[in-house]
């Protein structure tokens, strides 16, 4: 399935024609344009506008449903500590190399570009929320704390928004192991 603009126009045009061509929709809309002083012209223009909005919704809905279904099929089964040590077993062997920064930046790039999904517990004061999906937009301005490199630090902040206006933080980060491994191997 392609996601370029031409594909959108093809899908949109087909649905739009189906919606507004039923009955006399297209001929009457054409009549409204040709004879704008006719008493039905505003109603016909409204029918055309409604058709455009409904067509756009009908194009958006299946794609949105597919995204939701694909995301719901994933489960958070891999804590970040385990993931990083699997992806790079010697991640902290030589602290001067700071391999964690390279791997962390790569993970943030994969998260912000919607290649992989993540879950975490949002931090609110001293409370930790339930494990929830972290939206992709959050990752555009975020930075890992790297406390997760130490075993047993699930409750401390793992990631922080670098935009202080947002001020969101998450602990106990998780990934879907199969998805992360697949995307990691493709990118190497």
What mean pLDDT comes out for the span 161-183? Answer: 90
Tokens of 115: 């290649």
Q: How confident is the model at residue 19 (pLDDT cuts 50, 70, 90)?
A: low
Find residue 2's DSSP bridge partners: none
pLDDT of 24 > 50? The answer is no
CA 89 to chain centre: 29
Among positive and negative, which fits the CA dihedral 49, 27, 16, 6?
negative
Structure tokens at 133: 């999906």
Q: 96-113: per-residue pLDDT in tens? A: 768 888 899 999 999 999
Q: How far apart are the first and last CA of the chain?
A: 24
Of 138 and 63, which is predicted with more confidence?
A: 138
Tokens matching residue 149? 């490199």
pLDDT for res 23: 47
CA-wise closest residue to 25 among 59, 54, 55, 51: 51
Is-contact 176 77, C-beta < 8 A?
yes
């Amino acid at each position: 399935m392609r996601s370029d603009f031409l594909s959108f126009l093809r899908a949109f045009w087909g649905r739009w024609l189906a919606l507004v061509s039923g009955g006399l929709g297209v001929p009457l809309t054409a009549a409204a344009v040709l004879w704008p002083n006719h008493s039905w012209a505003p109603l016909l223009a409204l029918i055309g506008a409604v058709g455009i909005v409904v067509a756009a919704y009908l194009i958006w809905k299946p794609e949105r449903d597919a995204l939701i279904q694909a995301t719901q099929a994933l489960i958070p089964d891999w804590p970040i500590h385990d993931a990083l040590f699997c992806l790079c077993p010697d991640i902290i062997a030589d602290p001067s190399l700071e391999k964690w920064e390279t791997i962390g930046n790569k993970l943030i790039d994969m998260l912000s570009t919607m290649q992989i999904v993540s879950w975490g517990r949002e931090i609110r004061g001293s409370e930790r929320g339930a494990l929830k999906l972290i939206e992709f937009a959050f990752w555009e301005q975020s930075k890992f704390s790297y406390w997760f490199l130490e075993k047993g630090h699930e409750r401390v902040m793992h990631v922080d928004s670098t935009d202080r206006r947002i001020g969101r933080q998450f602990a106990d980060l998780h990934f879907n192991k199969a998805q992360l491994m697949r995307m990691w191997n493709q990118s190497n």
